[in-house]
Amino acid sequence: MGKNKKQRNQHQNQRNRKDASYYLEDNEQQSYPLTQPPNLSDQEQDSDDNNEDQNPSTDNNNISNNNDDDGTHLPSKFSLYQQSVQSPKGDISYLQKFFLTYVGGRAPLHLQEDFCGTALLSTEWLRSDSRRTSIGLDLDVEALDYCMENNVNKIGADISSRIFLYHGNVLQPQEAKLVKSNLQNIMHNATLEENENGSEPVTNYEALPSRDIVCAFNYSCCCLHTRHELVSYFKNALQALSKKGGIFVMDLYGGTSSECELRMQRKFPNFTYTWEQAGFDIVQRKTRISLHYTLHKHQNKKLRHAFSYSWRLWSLPEIKDCLEEAGFRSVHFWIRQMPDSENIKSIQGFGDGKDIKYEEVTSFQQQDSWNAYIVGVS
């Protein structure tokens, strides 16, 4: 189900998570955003639903270390997530563009990825410049371990010595702990920064060099449910940024289709990815998002609720108010319309709007589906 070269080139101009060149090159698979409905014909939808009762289903299990009945290795849920949801190259090119637009005067070198999960973006960030460093912070130690073993391990010691992963809460980053792994020695030898004595390498979160960019992607700020938490988090992000100037970048989705039940699927060569949005509570503005996978090469075994998130769907002006309250100097919205969720169910390809880029806006009329980058300038 890979795309031809022309389609790939066209696609590279699209929204970040639909710009799946990273995986297209490696695996000939397509990627799309967590909340952007994939294309699936009605026939495909039906056939998968028909299989629902006939195939074994695993609920919210990490199957990363499990074998199938025939002894073959089942893929990790994190591997499935990275292939189906993420495309870090697109995010990185927008991060660079935003930094040059709102700060400028120097190249952005130090990135912090909050809510990093498997920190694929942080790993990718290091590739293009040997001076770059990255810090990832997440509550899920299993995801961080996966990153160490599968992403960091594969990029070579010279690059992996420039990434620092922390296990902790974005609301209390100073209490976060450096992730232990078999790469710990390399990490401790990192020359990211030395302490006051000039001898021991710094692994304390607070002592790390200030960041040029802090980011929170795949709608992670929706994991924070109260205004107080959101403002506290934004203050922590601001605190981490360089006094020479820096940016905080997060993403958000919305539109009429984001406030109702929705279930979409997309087929990859080896698996089908299902994105499910439960009903939307208009009083609390909360929904539950679940990601399910069906493994084609394993008798269509299902991994249901591989990931499940309780999200408060913040509005753009709420985010702006909270960023300003936290102390950001200015806030900018970059929005693009996404393909209509009804059309996308019944067409092949990427449909309407495939060449639309993000544009900076101060006003934007409601659509079926849109995606936004929000940039806070320190």
Ligand X SMILES: C[S@@+](CC[C@H](N)C(=O)[O-])C[C@H]1O[C@@H](n2cnc3c(N)ncnc32)[C@H](O)[C@@H]1O
Given the rule CB under 6 A, which residues bind ligand X?
A: 85-86, 115-117, 137-140, 143, 169-171, 217-218, 220, 223, 309
Question: Which one, 308 or 343, has the nearer CB to ligand X?
Answer: 308
The answer to whether 273 and 80 have CB atoms below 8 angstroms apart is: yes
Residue with tokens 């920064």: 193
Which SS3 state, helix, strand or coil, does residue 202 take?
A: coil
Strand partners, 251: 373
Least separation in angstroms between residue 377's CB and ligand X is 21
Q: What does residue 6 show for φ and ψ, rounded to 5 degrees?
A: -60, -45
Least separation in angstroms between residue 25's CB and ligand X is 19
Question: Which one, 38 or 48, has the nearer CB to ligand X?
Answer: 38
Least separation in angstroms between residue 170's CB and ligand X is 4
Would you state the structure tokens that stand for residue 144, as one six-digit string?
Answer: 């961080």
Where do the DSSP E strands lie in the chain? Answer: 57-59, 110-114, 133-138, 163-167, 177-178, 213-216, 247-254, 262-267, 271-277, 286-295, 301-312, 330-337, 359-361, 370-377
Strand order in the sheet with 110-114: 177-178, 163-167, 133-138, 110-114, 213-216, 247-254, 370-377, 330-337, 359-361
Question: Which one, 38 or 340, has the nearer CB to ligand X?
Answer: 38
Question: Which one, 199 or 226, has the nearer CB to ligand X?
Answer: 226
Question: Which one, 307 or 350, has the nearer CB to ligand X?
Answer: 307
Separation of alpha carbons 322 and 316, rounded Å:
10
Least separation in angstroms between residue 353's CB and ligand X is 22
Question: Which one, 115 or 164, has the nearer CB to ligand X?
Answer: 115
Question: Which one, 169 or 191, has the nearer CB to ligand X?
Answer: 169
Separation of alpha carbons 143 and 78, rounded Å:
7
Least separation in angstroms between residue 132's CB and ligand X is 18
Least separation in angstroms between residue 228's CB and ligand X is 13
Least separation in angstroms between residue 39's CB and ligand X is 21
